[in-house]
């Protein structure tokens, strides 16, 4: 009896102190203020010298250059974002907040970018956080000359949508705003809301839980996290059915589908752009997800959704493969596919693990148990398949679920959400007109520590990638009770309120797949905001896997008699003639150049840049080859995608010449096929080392099966887990249509 009373008293004290913390008493800090950047604008002479080196490289290839190539990053998070905030806490191995102002200084002086955008998750952007983001981005722009800026900073956010099934999953999209005037930006960002089928408590823990965290994790940032979540939890959804300009400023505006997002952006009537990203990243994308449904029912807006991110620090989403991670049957049921060459379905591996355990205990029903395990895996709630096999170690999953022959692929690859699959989709509307995606291509970082453009050097795995995301499983909101291995799988088809949202995912194995990130490039008429925006609207863009590769891709014989660049769409009746030209990136010098060391203090350079800035030498890497991809879009929605994506369609080896590579080619089949066609090129650099380029470190048997792994997430942080790779640049496609008259 006395013990029970003491427990009750202890709980009441815990509640009382927890509420006191959440009321704001006892913190002594403010929650992650956006701040002001510390560095000045880059000197005009330095900017001019960078531009001159690009122009000289193009001139050596015979390119007349009325436009200039500029590099940027259109996908950057600060610790205003929930996941980034948790990773910044000591309990997750972080060293504190990285606000918007840090992103400005990093873009300007560490990465030496020409443009960037802020893209924190809209769902947690309270009125205060949004207004501070706006102020900080404005301040970043105000230190430079608007007519000839050293750096253009765009305002934006991420519409973060996650579905629990392929039918209600739409994915993540960044929204970029062109202008920064009071009447040119929305009063609040637009979020996707809580995932369909996910209880609110999975995203925002209750007050008493936060109070307990505040006390129990004081040394690990628990109080700061509790305050962060307390402010987030007070953000209520806006009323529905109200015009956006009539809504209060302190509510969360929600658009649960792309159609709703586009309608709200139309309601605002401002200059905005929507960029899908991370489309194949199976960390949160349900098994069997496909982009087919985004082509119809107004779920795509070709006037706003102009670009797609093919590569980021979360991996490559370009390549289509015909393997299936799950079979979606016509009657609504799901079954597990068998392995094919180069792909082991995770559901199949679940059955193998159970079989191995069953046979070890001499069970007589191992086949039945394996079948149940496969089905339990694919029926699991919210990508929780790994939780259906009790007590597994990461190594037991081998390389299941991975695209083993893709370039630096996203984790747990979803091929029907790949960019090539999108390019191959097509159908006719009521008037017989073709409906298709015609995206321009970019890459970016998706960095979560306010570091735009981290791909300039393959260093600092702990800070320049999101590999610390694997630590979520070791923190109180991600902890999963250790289970004893069992030779029987378990069902996991409903939300478990005792588990964190993050515990549904393979955070440890997935942490090995984070990369230093890519870059967006534009062919722009000028350095100013309007010129960069217009280049993106023209889709005269390309992406790189991090290095500043120079790339040009043109159709030489357009109907108007003049070459047209990447991103163009035109009808053509004759044989197309293309030209692709590329120059490799500069080898990097250790440390930081003089302009960076003069702009930032040694301490700031060390913490923010990790002592390593973009610092090009005079030596360029060689372009090894240029690959051409041809896609012939569906002529009806029932046409099979297999065979429509030809990758590579043509390959051109390049001379051993650091000055670059240029090739010309044609398509003899185009004019006689009667089909529209899409063409883009990849410029592939010579082999070099990159962070986590071999994420699992598989040892394979004679049949090519991954039987043992040495994953990057198991390495100490002073090991950057470098492995050889072939860095590359992806041009935007050129879209050719058969004339209709």
CA distance 50 to 568: 27
Whether 720 has a pLDDT exceeding 60, the answer reads yes
Q: What is the pLDDT of residue 646?
A: 98
Residue 526: the pLDDT is 96
Contact predicate 235/31, CB 8 Å: no
End-to-end alpha-carbon separation of the chain, Å?
A: 91
Q: Comparing C-alpha atoms, which of 188, 186, 36, 38 is closest to residue 100?
A: 36
The reply to whether 85 and 219 lie within a common domain is no
124 with 171, same domain? yes
Q: Is residue 65 part of a domain?
A: yes
For the ranges 426-440, 537-551, 566-580, 584-598, the lowest mean pLDDT is seen at 426-440
Q: What is the pLDDT of residues 316-354, one digit of tens each?
A: 999 999 999 999 999 989 999 999 999 999 999 999 999
Other Cβ atoms less than 10 A from the Cβ of 338: the count is 10
Do 531 and 551 have their domain in common?
A: yes
What length does the chain have? Answer: 741
What's the confidence (pLDDT) of residue 1? 40
What is the CA 227 to chain-centroid distance, rounded?
Answer: 28
**Could you give the CA distance from residue 205 to residue 229 in angstroms, rounded to a whole number?**
8
| Residue 36 CB partners (closer than 8 Å, separation 6+) | 101, 136, 139
pLDDT at 638: 86
Assigned token pair, 358: 């069953």
Q: For residue 618, report the phi and psi dihedrals to the nearest 5 degrees.
A: -95, 5
Average pLDDT over residues 70-80: 97
- Distance from C-alpha of 27 to C-alpha of 21, rounded to nearest angstrom: 7
Of the candidates 550, 730, 572, the residue with the CA atom closest to the CA atom of residue 666: 572
At 378, list the tokens.
Answer: 């694919």
Cβ–Cβ under 8 Å, residues 706 and 399: yes
Give yes or no for a contact between 552 and 564, defined as CB atoms under 8 angstroms apart: no
Task: For residue 525, give both structure tokens.
Answer: 């008429």
Domain region containing 670: 44-193+237-321+403-466+514-686+726-737
Residues pairing with 177 in the sheet = 155, 272
Q: What is the dihedral of CA 191, 196, 202, 206, to 10 degrees?
A: 70
Q: Report which of 641, 263, 604 is spatially closest to residue 427, judged by C-alpha positions.
A: 641
pLDDT at 222: 67
- Cβ neighbors of 3 (< 8 A, separation 6 or more) are none
Asked if residue 630 lies in contact with residue 678, where contact means CB atoms within 8 angstroms, the answer is: yes
pLDDT at 670: 96
What pLDDT, on a 0 to 100 scale, did the predictor assign at position 218?
A: 55
The answer to whether residue 509 sits within a structural domain is no
Phi, psi (deg, nearest 5) at residue 175: -110, 125
Q: Would you say residue 551 has pLDDT above 80?
A: yes
- Are 137 and 155 a contacting pair, CB within 8 Å? yes
Q: 203 in a domain, yes or no?
A: no
Residue with tokens 């259109």: 74
* Nearest alpha-carbon partner for 291 in 637, 533, 581, 6: 637
Q: Are residues 12 and 60 in the same domain?
A: no
**In angstroms, rounded to a whole number, what is the distance separating the alpha carbons of residues 611 and 464?**
12
CB neighbour class for 38 (10 Å; exposed up to 12, middle 13-18, buried from 19): middle
Q: Is residue 477 part of a domain?
A: no
Q: Which residues of 258-297 are buried (b: 16+ CB within 10 A; e: fewer)?
A: bbbbbebbeebeebbbbbbbbbbbbbbbbbbbbbbbbbee
Is residue 27 pLDDT above 60, yes or no?
A: no
Mean per-residue pLDDT for 427-442? 89
Q: What is the mean pLDDT of the chain?
A: 90
By DSSP bridging, strand 307-312 and strand 315-316 are antiparallel
Please tell me the distance from the alpha carbon of residue 285 to that of residue 738, in angstroms, as a whole number: 36
- Tokens at residue 241, please? 């059915």
Residues 6+ apart with CB under 8 A from 525: 66, 67, 531, 534, 535
- Inside any domain, residue 37: no
- Percent of the chain past pLDDT 70, that is, above it, reads 89
Q: Are residues 243 and 155 in the same domain?
A: yes
List the one residue out of 424, 593, 590, 439 whose CA is nearest residue 520: 439
Q: Give the residue-averaged pLDDT of 462-467.
A: 94
Pick the more confident residue, 624 or 480: 624
Q: Does residue 62 belong to any structural domain of this protein?
A: yes
Retrieve residue 161's tokens: 């949508």
Q: Are 617 and 588 in contact (CB under 8 A)?
A: yes
The per-residue b/e assignment along 614-641, b for 16 or more CB within 10 angstroms, e otherwise, is bbbeeebbbbbbbbbbbbbbbeeeebeb
- How many C-beta atoms surround the C-beta of residue 209 within 10 A? 16
CATH number at residue 64: 3.20.20.140
- Least confident stretch, 61-65, 129-133, 243-247: 61-65
Residue ranges of alpha helices (H) inside 61-142 are 82-88, 100-105, 127-142
Cis peptide before 638 (omega within 30 of 0): no
Q: Is the pLDDT of residue 262 over 90?
A: yes
- The reply to whether 696 falls in a domain is no
pLDDT > 90: percent of the chain? 78
Q: What is the mean pLDDT of residues 661-685?
A: 96
- pLDDT tens per residue across span 203-232: 554 554 445 445 555 555 667 777 888 888
Per-residue pLDDT for 14 more than 70? no
* Parallel/antiparallel/unpaired status of strands 569-571 and 734-737: parallel
Distance separating alpha carbons of residues 634 and 643, to the nearest angstrom:
10
Residues 165-207 have pLDDT tens digits of 999 999 999 999 999 999 999 999 999 987 666 666 555 545 5
pTM recorded for the entire structure: 0.93
**260 plus 388 within the same structural domain:** no
Q: Do residues 155 and 50 share a domain?
A: yes
The two three-digit tokens of residue 270, written as one number: 């401002």
What is the structure's pLDDT at 637? 84
Nearest 5°: CA angle at 234, between 231 and 236?
135
- Within 10 angstroms of residue 330's Cβ, the number of other Cβ atoms is 5
Q: Which residue, among 119, 715, 101, 106, has the nearest Cα to 462 in the 3D structure?
A: 715
Same domain, 219 and 368: no
Do 547 and 680 lie in one domain? The reply is yes
Phi-psi region of 314 (alpha: psi -120 to 50; beta: other; left: phi over 0): alpha
The contacts of residue 701 (CB under 8 Å, 6+ apart) are: 707
Q: Are residues 488 and 571 in the same domain?
A: no
- Where is pLDDT greater, at 85 or 623? 623
Do residue 528 and residue 596 come from a single domain? yes
- In total, how many domains does the chain have? 3
- Residue 28's pLDDT is what? 30
Task: Read off φ and ψ for residue 624, nearest 5 degrees.
Answer: -80, -40
In the prediction, which pLDDT does 402 show? Answer: 98
Average pLDDT over residues 378-395: 91
Q: Residue 526 domain-assigned?
A: yes
- Both 225 and 242 in one domain: the answer is no
Q: What local confidence, expressed as pLDDT, does residue 499 receive? A: 59
Residue 35, pLDDT score: 85
Q: What is the pLDDT of residue 65?
A: 77
pLDDT confidence bin for 505, thresholds 50/70/90: confident
**Cα gap 169→284, rounded to integer Å:** 9
Q: For CA atoms 386, 387, 390, 393, give the dihedral sign.
A: positive
């Amino acid at each position: 009896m006395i013990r029970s009373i003491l427990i009750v008293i202890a709980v009441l004290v815990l509640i009382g102190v927890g509420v006191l913390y959440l009321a704001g008493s006892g913190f002594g800090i403010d929650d992650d203020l956006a701040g002001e950047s510390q560095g000045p604008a880059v000197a005009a002479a330095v900017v001019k010298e960078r531009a001159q080196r690009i122009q000289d490289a193009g001139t050596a290839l015979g390119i007349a250059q009325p436009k200039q190539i500029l590099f940027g990053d259109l996908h950057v998070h600060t610790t205003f974002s929930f996941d980034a905030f948790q990773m910044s806490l000591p309990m997750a191995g972080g060293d504190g907040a990285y606000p918007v102002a840090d992103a400005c200084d990093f873009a300007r002086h560490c990465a030496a970018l020409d443009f960037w955008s802020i893209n924190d998750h809209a769902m947690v952007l309270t009125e205060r956080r949004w207004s501070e983001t706006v102020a900080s981005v404005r301040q970043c722009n105000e230190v430079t000359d608007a007519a000839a800026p050293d750096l253009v900073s765009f305002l934006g956010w991420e519409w973060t949508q996650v579905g629990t099934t392929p039918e209600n999953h739409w994915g993540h999209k960044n929204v970029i705003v062109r202008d920064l005037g009071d009447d040119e930006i929305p009063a609040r960002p637009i979020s996707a809301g809580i995932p369909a089928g996910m209880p609110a408590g999975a995203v925002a823990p209750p007050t008493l839980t936060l109070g307990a965290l505040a006390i129990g994790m004081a040394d690990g940032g628990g109080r700061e996290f509790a305050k962060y979540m307390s402010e987030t939890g007070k953000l209520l959804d806006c009323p529905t059915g109200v015009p956006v300009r009539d809504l209060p400023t302190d509510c969360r505006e929600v658009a649960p589908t792309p159609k709703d997002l586009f309608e709200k952006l139309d309601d605002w009537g401002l200059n905005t752009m929507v960029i899908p990203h991370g489309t194949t990243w199976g960390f949160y994308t349900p098994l069997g997800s496909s982009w087919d449904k985004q082509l119809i029912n107004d779920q795509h807006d070709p006037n706003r959704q102009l670009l797609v991110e093919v590569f980021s620090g979360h991996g490559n989403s370009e390549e289509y493969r015909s393997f299936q991670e799950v079979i979606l049957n016509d009657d609504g049921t799901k079954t597990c596919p068998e392995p094919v060459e180069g792909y082991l379905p995770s559901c199949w591996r679940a059955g193998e693990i159970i079989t191995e355990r069953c046979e070890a205990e001499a069970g007589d029903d191992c086949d039945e148990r394996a079948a149940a395990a496969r089905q339990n895996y694919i029926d699991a709630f919210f990508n929780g398949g790994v939780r259906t096999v009790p007590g597994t170690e990461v190594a037991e999953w081998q390389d299941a679920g991975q695209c083993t022959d893709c370039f630096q692929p996203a984790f747990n690859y979803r091929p029907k959400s790949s960019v090539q699959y999108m390019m191959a989709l097509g159908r006719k509307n009521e008037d017989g007109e073709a409906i298709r995606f015609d995206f321009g291509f970019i890459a970016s970082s998706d960095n979560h520590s306010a570091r735009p453009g981290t791909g300039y050097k393959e260093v600092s795995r702990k800070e320049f990638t999101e590999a610390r995301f694997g630590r979520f499983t070791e923190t109180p909101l991600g902890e999963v009770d250790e289970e004893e291995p069992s030779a029987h799988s378990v069902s996991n088809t409903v939300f478990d309120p005792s588990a964190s949202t993050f515990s549904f995912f393979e955070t440890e194995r997935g942490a090995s797949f984070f990369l230093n990130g890519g870059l967006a490039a534009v062919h722009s008429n000028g350095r100013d905001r309007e010129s960069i925006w217009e280049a993106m609207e023209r889709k005269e863009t390309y992406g790189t896997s991090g290095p500043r590769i120079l790339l040009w891709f043109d159709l030489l014989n357009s109907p108007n008699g003049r070459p047209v660049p990447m991103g163009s769409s035109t009808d053509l009746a004759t044989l197309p003639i293309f030209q692709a030209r590329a120059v490799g990136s500069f080898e990097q010098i250790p440390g930081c150049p003089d302009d960076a060391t003069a702009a930032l203090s040694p301490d700031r350079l060390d913490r923010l840049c990790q002592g390593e800035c973009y610092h090009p030498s005079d030596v360029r890497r060689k372009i090894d080859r240029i690959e051409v991809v041809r896609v012939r879009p569906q002529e009806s929605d029932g046409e099979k995608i297999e065979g429509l994506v030809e990758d590579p369609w043509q390959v051109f080896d390049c001379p051993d010449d650091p000055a670059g590579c240029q090739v010309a080619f044609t398509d003899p089949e185009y004019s006689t096929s009667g089909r529209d066609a899409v063409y883009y090129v990849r410029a592939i650099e010579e082999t070099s080392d990159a962070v986590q380029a071999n994420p699992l470190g598989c040892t394979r048997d004679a049949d090519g099966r991954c039987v043992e792994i040495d994953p990057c997430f198991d390495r100490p942080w002073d090991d950057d887990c470098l492995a050889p790779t072939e860095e590359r640049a992806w041009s935007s496609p050129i879209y050719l249509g058969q004339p209709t008259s």
